[in-house]
Amino acid sequence: MVYFQFFSQNNTKTPTSSIPCSTNEECLENRATFNSRQHCPDCLPECEIIQYKVQSSFAAYPNTRSIEKVLQRVDKHFKAMGQSLVQSNTSACSNNRKVALLDNIVAVEISASPVATEILAESPMYTWVDVISSIGGQTGLWIGVSLISFVEIAELLFLLLCHCMEKIYQSISIRWKHFCQRYISEKISSRF
């Protein structure tokens, strides 16, 4: 585990150092021993954690097919050391050598998992709100454009469109009025 710490002076959380915690510091010892933020509140979260999942299983050892072979190897080992598997002062005789072996031998195998798993945890540096705020701030700073400017431009275009539509409506209305007056005057003159 790699730890970095904040030195809090005068109750501030301003980092004054970004060097790893020393393994001799009490803070790091508490953090490593208890793995709790309450024991080391000034330490930043670890950058990298290596965890091993403990899994145990067991079986009878040695199995019935290999008991003779294991017994020979154990006898050879004890004879080389000047000892015997079955003591002469015990009630176990040569027939009980297998029982004595089964009662007093264990095989332990410790191995790491053959499949390593790397879990990456990511947290966004910028959210969508931050990105939009940043874009708005930069355009406001360098171009002088803001959201209010865009709304004002949209309002100007809307008012221009309304003015043009009003002019077109007035023009059509005047033409229609002239057409109606001409039509009525022609009808009246054709009657006389």
pLDDT one-digit tens code per residue, 14-23: 444 555 556 6
- Structural domain boundaries of the chain? 1-51, 54-118, 128-191
End-to-end CA distance of the chain: 112
Name which of 122, 120, 28 is nearest 36 in CA terms.
Answer: 28
Average pLDDT over residues 170-179: 93
Query: In Å, what is the CA distance from 165 to each residue of 101, 151, 153, 154?
Result: 106, 21, 18, 16
> Quick one: pLDDT at residue 168?
96
Q: In angstroms, rounded to a whole number, what is the distance separating the alpha carbons of residues 80 and 61?
A: 23
Q: What three-state secondary structure class fits 2? A: coil
The residue that leads in pLDDT, 26 or 13, is 26
Across the chain, what does the average pLDDT equal? 74
* pTM for the predicted model, two decimal places: 0.30
**Long-range contacts of 129-132, Cβ-Cβ distance < 8 Å, separation of 24 or more:** none
Average pLDDT over residues 31-56: 66
User: Position 26: which residue type?
Assistant: E
> Quick one: pLDDT at residue 95?
58
Q: Are 21 and 30 in contact (CB under 8 A)?
A: no
Q: What pLDDT digit, counting tens, does each position of 108-141 carry?
A: 887 777 777 777 777 778 888 999 888 888 887 8
Structure tokens at 64: 């019935």
> Quick one: pLDDT at residue 33?
63
Q: In angstroms, rounded to a whole number, what is the distance separating the alpha carbons of residues 36 and 41?
A: 9
Burial status of residue 21 (CB atoms within 10 A of its CB: 0-12, 13-18, 19 or more): buried
95-119 burial code (b ≥16 CB/10 A, e <16): eebbebbeeeeeeeeeeeeeeeeee
